Copies of this chain bind each other. A is one copy, B any other.
């Protein structure tokens, strides 16, 4: 059984029930169903869910997008819009809140399943990323003389704090070869040491 708790914000009781039914079918727990902003805030504070499904039009002055703003400011939870509003203006406003998804009514169980699974997974991954991965193309975008793939491998190893000896072993080449590659990398990056190479590419990744 899934322990993931979802908060539903939807002013139409019929649709709310429908969403709730879907969530039950796909083994998500509904932490609460609320019909307005005030209750939504209350639930977010007292019974913090793992993710939120937001209707945009709530028939009051504040709407789902305002709630999204609040989630970003105070709670930092993943949320998805479920709405029938798919016009440019609404999407334009909605995207600025960086939602994890945008499900357009009439929705389908699978839309919610896929949307939530991806939202939750992405959220959990992003929470513990700080290790930015080097990208070959990303680095080369900044260079007139581009790195070869082998050189890029070496640069990655330097970035990971490896010694020349370790690189030689893991790449099955001699230390001399590693040194040659490094010399060429330094030429292209216009640096003269490992640490300055790392500092140089830091802004690029």
With contacts A130-B202, A199-B159 taken as known, whether A137 is within 8 angstroms of B98 at the C-beta atoms is no
List A89-124 residues whose CB lies under 8 Å from chain B: 91-92, 94-96, 98-99, 101-102, 104, 108, 110-111, 113-115, 117-118, 121-122
Contact: A110 with B104, CB < 8 Å? Answer: yes
Chain B residues, CB < 8 A from A200: 161
Is the contact region of chain A dominated by helix, strand, or loop, or is it mixed?
A: helix
Contact: B114 with A91, CB < 8 Å? Answer: yes
Chain B residues, CB < 8 A from A48: 137
In the complex, whether A194 has a CB less than 8 A from a CB of chain B is yes
Which residue on B lies nearest to A114, using beta carbons?
A: B102
Chain B residues, CB < 8 A from A202: 130-131
Contact: B195 with A161, CB < 8 Å? Answer: yes
In the complex, whether A135 has a CB less than 8 A from a CB of chain B is yes
Q: How far is the CB of A175 from chain B (nearest CB, A)?
A: 16
With contacts A130-B203, A194-B195, A200-B161 taken as known, whether A115 is within 8 angstroms of B102 at the C-beta atoms is yes
Q: How far is the CB of A178 from chain B (nearest CB, A)?
A: 14
Whole-angstrom CA separation of A86 from B75 in the bound complex: 30
Which residue on B lies nearest to A198, using beta carbons?
A: B198
Contact: A135 with B76, CB < 8 Å? Answer: yes
Which residue on B lies nearest to A141, using beta carbons?
A: B48
Contact: B135 with A113, CB < 8 Å? Answer: no
